[in-house]
Amino acid sequence: MDINDSKRKKFGRKTYAFLVIFMGLAVAQWILVCLVESSRKIFRDFEIICSATFALAGIFFTIFVFNEGVRNHRIYRWLVALIIVELEIFSMYVLVARTWIPDMLAYFFFCTLLLVVALVVGCHLSFSMDITRYIAPLFILSFILAMMSSYFLLAHLFLPSLKPYAYLIFELGLTFIMTSIIMLHAQTINGDRYVQMRVKDFILAALLVFHEFLLIYALTFYWQIHYSYFTSADYFWMSTSTPNIQGTTPENINYDDYDSKASDDDWSARNESSFDWYTDIWEPTNELKLKA
């Protein structure tokens, strides 16, 4: 076996091994967040914090991609990679806290299956279908699909009659883009096409594929939270979760100082029916007058 082929295969094994580690860390932490009711209650209110960590992860990832000195450093590359992965995983807590275990695991399995299929197909495409030679057309196609997907996302937000079909088109467009890029990266990792990744950048390769998987999986939270197709009604009898507020925490739990803060309207009698209590029906009838 040629020494370059040996290095390339070792590079591929390292890349996919670290990809499995990243995905394993992610699903393990998301399962804990989903199962522990106190964590569900806490992370549901982390919209701003999780958004900030996601933006911070993007900054670190950009530095990692374009700074070759960080990627080649023996210590910094591991430290920065761990920070990026943990920030990305933490950013998903606010979404995971709103879903349930059956849906979370089901969609994770489907997205993982799609990832594996894309990697296998990308590696086994014929040399006449070398995607690395057509990066420019792929970029233009991705731009067109992203533009169309953005339109349907706005239609989903402002045209209620198109829900949820507009979001489905938006999700399919971005998923197709990510799947194509995964196939492209599979060929660059395999190293037998026009463009190859350097054998030293196995962490970068694993991070790229992990982020592509993360985007595909993040798009499924719309279906997990709003529809929960894989969570049966019997699940809520066996668990402490409730579908209306995604947890067991009551909507109004602060009753300690309710009496001291209650207004007079809270304790006043109110007529909540449509019956008119002031009609003449309450006047004495002739029968009662005769008895009197």
Average pLDDT along the chain: 82
* pLDDT tier for residue 279 given thresholds of 50, 70 and 90: low
Most trustworthy range by pLDDT among 22-26, 39-43, 191-195: 22-26
Contact 197, 188 (CB under 8 A): yes
Q: Does residue 97 carry a pLDDT above 70?
A: yes
C-alpha span between 69 and 208 (Å, rounded): 18
**Residue of 204, 217, 123 lying closest to 178 (CA atoms):** 217
252: pLDDT strictly greater than 50: no
- In which band, very low, low, confident or very high, does the pLDDT at 193 lie, cut at 50, 70 and 90? confident
- The model's pTM is 0.78
| pLDDT over 70 percentage in the chain | 78
Arithmetic mean of pLDDT, 155-180? 89
Task: Kindly state the greatest CA–CA separation across the chain.
Answer: 118
In the block, tokens 């982390």 appear at 46
Residue 251 pLDDT: 41
pLDDT tier for residue 259 given thresholds of 50, 70 and 90: very low
